[in-house]
Amino acid sequence: MSLPLFDTEPQPAQPLAEGAVLLRGWAARQDAAWIATVRQVLAQQPLQAAFTAGGRPMSVRTSNCGEWGWAAAGLRGYGYTRSDPLSGRPWPAMPTFLQQQAQALAAQAGYPGFDPDVCLINAYAVGARMGLHHDADERDKAAPIVSVSLGLPCHFVWGGLQRSDPVRSLRLEHGDVLVWGGASRMVFHGVRPLPAGQHHLLGAERWNLTFRMAQRPYRG
Ligand SMILES: O=C(O)CCC(=O)C(=O)O
Ligand SMILES: [Fe+2]
């Protein structure tokens, strides 16, 4: 695809914590391309019910693209795998548009050389949430997480390095991008139950894409 990476820079990057940057609206200018590309992935790898490490059902539904995928399909499929444990098929390749956007967004946040090998897609219906956790299954914790929000706004919870640390709530809107790495890489975070609403492109849903380096070493 020959679209420019960013046609304009909507708002300056906002530091959130050491190593963590909020790029407000940076995925909104090309939202049609983001959504069309995700829909292509979902046509190949439909959203599935997800389960916690303990086997409890989650309220989000998930899909993946990339060399690796985060298999949350319960019992035998928790952690990063090369194929979908349910279908046995390899995860669909990461579309070039997503790969390039994630690289450019990471670079804007101070992480050049980011080269994700997985994009986890989380779909939230109204009321869906994600409990406080940190992303700990990636091999090289030097690589950041690049997280893109599309559709309905949510209240994202940002805590500290200990589960018991105080949290703040951050409203994430359509097109907002959060990048966390460095001293913030292992910060606990989550999403409060999704408030009801209608988004002009995604209806009563929020999509979150997290780009990660699950297995690749990071040479930033
Ligand atoms: O939906 C979000 O904004 C966060 C998702 C998340 O933390 C995860 O998938 O690990
Ligand atoms: Fe997470």
What CATH number does the domain containing 74 carry?
Answer: 2.60.120.590
Burial 179-204 (b: 16+ CB within 10 A, else e): bbbbebbebbbbbeebeeeebeebee
**Would you say residue 3 lies in a domain?**
no
Does residue 51's CB lie within 6 angstroms of at least one atom of ligand 1? no
Measure the N-to-C terminal CA separation of the chain; round to a whole number of Å. Answer: 25
Q: Which atom of ligand 1 is nearest to the CA of 120?
A: 9
Determine the structural domain holding residue 43 and report its residue range.
14-212
Would you say the ipTM is above 0.95?
Answer: yes
- Say how many Å lie between the CA of residue 103 and the centre of ligand 2: 19
Whole-number pLDDT of residue 132 = 96
Whole-number pLDDT of residue 79 = 86
- Number of structural domains, the chain? 1
Whole-number pLDDT of residue 2 = 46
**Would you say residue 155 lies in a domain?**
yes
The whole-number mean pLDDT for each consecutive block of 10 residues of the chain, a chain of 220 residues, reads: 58 94 96 98 95 82 96 69 92 98 97 97 97 94 98 98 97 98 98 98 98 94
Whole-number pLDDT of residue 5 = 65
Binding residues for Fe cation: 133, 135, 189
Does residue 191's CB lie within 6 angstroms of at least one atom of ligand 1? yes
Does residue 211's CB lie within 6 angstroms of at least one atom of ligand 1? no
- Shortest CA distance to 109 belongs to which of 40, 60, 179, 157? 179
> Cα dist. 134→13, 88, 186 in Å?
23, 27, 6
**Would you say residue 7 lies in a domain?**
no
Q: Please, is 8 exposed, middle or buried when counting C-beta atoms within 10 Å of its C-beta (0-12, 13-18, 19+)?
A: exposed
